[in-house]
């Protein structure tokens, strides 16, 4: 990458972060306030307006298009969503597509000023990753409560953001929750890490591909068998995106 191109990307990335961070502070405060006055559905709709803004602002500043397949597979009833985790992009993108959606996340994120307040207003399942057994109990107990209340539950089974081309260890909490609550699971594959690399300042233009599976039902499966099936589907789809086997239509 020549220095002029790199400098331009740095300027565009800085512009994106100014809009992202600046609006995020206000969003956290507003979300917290709205949670006291609005019912879940309306509060969630207003809250995720910011997510839509971030995706739009990212596209404007960096030059990124999104090609999504399988949006019609998203059910109207609560489900477990198991997604590849490469960057912050997928969290921003997925939340508006499920109304409402709660996220399994590490409890430390709730301590981030402003941003943490916004997260907390969405009723996340905040777990202590230092105690896997206790974390699984939290996911199963609180997750079933959230599903019963009409929420879908988003799980990143790898637990942390994984660089494109690499595969993390898939934990069974999401499939165990699907089995315990007897609800369908939607699998999500994407390649957002190429455009929004985790822990890197520079953002890169391109097309993010994201694919939603048809609902997968837990009947007759163990959590171990289920997560292996989920891992195989997600990683195969991600590999197709990376290799170009999954074509992108000329008209976006």
Nearest to 32 by CA among 114, 111, 105: 114
Among 177, 154, 190, 164, which residue's Cα sits nearest to residue 227? 177
Q: CATH number of the domain at 3-243, out of 3.40.50, 2.40.160, 2.60.120, 3.40.1130?
A: 3.40.1130
List the pLDDT tens digit at each of the 252 positions of the chain.
688 888 999 999 999 999 998 888 777 777 767 667 766 666 677 778 889 999 999 999 999 999 999 999 999 999 999 999 999 999 899 999 987 898 887 777 666 666 666 666 667 787 777 777 778 888 899 999 999 999 999 999 998 899 999 999 999 999 999 999 999 999 999 999 999 998 899 999 999 999 999 999 999 999 999 999 999 999 999 999 987 766 665 433
Can you tell me the distance from the alpha carbon of 72 to that of 53, in angstroms, rounded to the nearest whole number?
22
> What pTM was computed for the model?
0.88
């Amino acid at each position: 990458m020549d220095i002029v191109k790199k400098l331009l990307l740095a300027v565009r990335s800085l512009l994106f972060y100014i809009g992202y961070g600046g609006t995020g502070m206000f969003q956290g405060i507003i979300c917290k306030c709205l949670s006291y006055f609005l019912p879940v559905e309306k509060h969630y709709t207003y809250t995720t307006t910011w997510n839509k803004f971030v995706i739009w602002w990212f596209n404007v500043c960096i030059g990124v298009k999104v090609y999504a397949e399988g949006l019609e597979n998203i059910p109207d009833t609560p489900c477990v969503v198991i997604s590849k985790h490469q960057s912050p992009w997928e969290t921003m993108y997925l939340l508006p597509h499920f109304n409402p959606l709660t996220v399994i996340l590490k409890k430390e994120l709730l301590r981030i000023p402003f941003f943490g307040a916004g997260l907390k207003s969405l009723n996340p399942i905040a777990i202590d990753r230092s105690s896997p057994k206790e974390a699984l109990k939290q996911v199963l107990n609180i997750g079933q409560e959230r599903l019963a209340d009409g929420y879908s539950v988003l799980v990143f089974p790898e637990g942390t953001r994984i660089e494109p081309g690499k595969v993390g260890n898939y934990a069974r909490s999401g499939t165990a929750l699907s089995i315990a609550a007897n609800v369908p699971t939607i699998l999500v594959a994407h390649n957002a890490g190429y455009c929004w690399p985790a822990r890197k300042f520079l953002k890169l233009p391109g097309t993010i591909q994201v694919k939603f599976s048809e609902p997968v039902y837990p009947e007759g499966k163990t959590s171990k068998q289920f997560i292996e099936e989920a891992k195989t589907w997600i990683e195969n789809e991600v590999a197709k995106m990376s290799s170009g086997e999954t074509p992108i239509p000329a008209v976006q």
